[in-house]
Amino acid sequence: MDFNTCFEKLLCQLAIEFNCSPDDFRREENVLTLSKFDERARAYSDEKYFFRMVTAGSNAVITADQRLHPFLRGFMGKTGHFLFELPNLLPLEKELNKYGQTLSQSSHMFLPCREVQPRLALPVKWFYGEEIFPFYGDERFPNAICEKFIPRRPDRIVVCAYDGEEIMGMAGCSEDAKGWLQIGIDVMPKYRSQGVGTYLVTLMKNEIEKRGDIPFYGTSLSNYHSWNIALNSGFKPSWVEITSRPK
């Protein structure tokens, strides 16, 4: 699936989650909506968000509790992507604190943009569905899989690279919304900076696309090891989002 097709599908998914239209992400002006829970959203919360903001590169779309709207109408008077900068987030954080909320870290998200073939040839083993369960609780894999089985956001596939019997690294994907599989990666310290992460993420990305689903990838602003894995595996920065959570 090419990037433009993935991006159009992304806007449709974000429209569900931000209670708006896909065209709202193409406007010059910022957009504010009333937060609403939807079962079709990526499953990171079982209730509506108090505050959530996203940009796909131009304007910002914000969905929030009605109580925040008077503040947000003033907050939104800047170019959308600048709202994610610290000088603007500080007064937002202060306002959220009045309601017992605090900002989460911003998530920098990637979509596939090009075909990449693995450059290594390491021994790997694939795990599916319940075969993944024995890995739960293993502290080596905080990013590749969830802490436990989550029915609304199940881990679907895991691939591990091996050095003999030793796991070098693991890539996994959770189905965060129907047809949307987020890839996570963990590489053991002694095997880092050897291309293992890129190798496993590329394998996982290709497998997801082969199944007709959309792989996506997320990391933090400062995690450039993770950024490079995404870029080298054929992903492209596509959107940024930030939410609040109870303080």
pLDDT, residue 49, reads 96
What is the residue whose two structure tokens read 């900068």? Answer: 85
Stretch 61-82: mean pLDDT: 95
- At 150-178, the pLDDT tens digits run 999 999 999 999 999 999 999 999 999 99
- The two tokens of residue 151 are 């029915």
N- to C-terminal Cα separation, the chain: 40
Q: Tell me, what CATH number does 186's domain have?
A: 3.40.630.30
- At 213-247, the pLDDT tens digits run 999 999 999 999 999 999 999 999 999 999 999 99
- At 9-33, the pLDDT tens digits run 999 999 999 999 999 999 999 999 9
228: number of Cβ within 10 Å? 13
The one-character DSSP state at 131 is: G
Q: Do both 143 and 165 map to the same domain?
A: yes
- The two tokens of residue 112 are 């596939």
Q: Is residue 24 part of a domain?
A: yes
- The two tokens of residue 238 are 């596509």
> Of 87, 111, 135, which marks where a domain is finished?
111
Structural domain total, the chain: 2
Contact 73, 195 (CB under 8 A): no
pLDDT band for 58, please (50, 70, 90 cuts).
confident
Whether the pTM exceeds 0.85: the reply is yes
- Domain hosting 198: range is 112-236
The amino acid at residue 216 is F
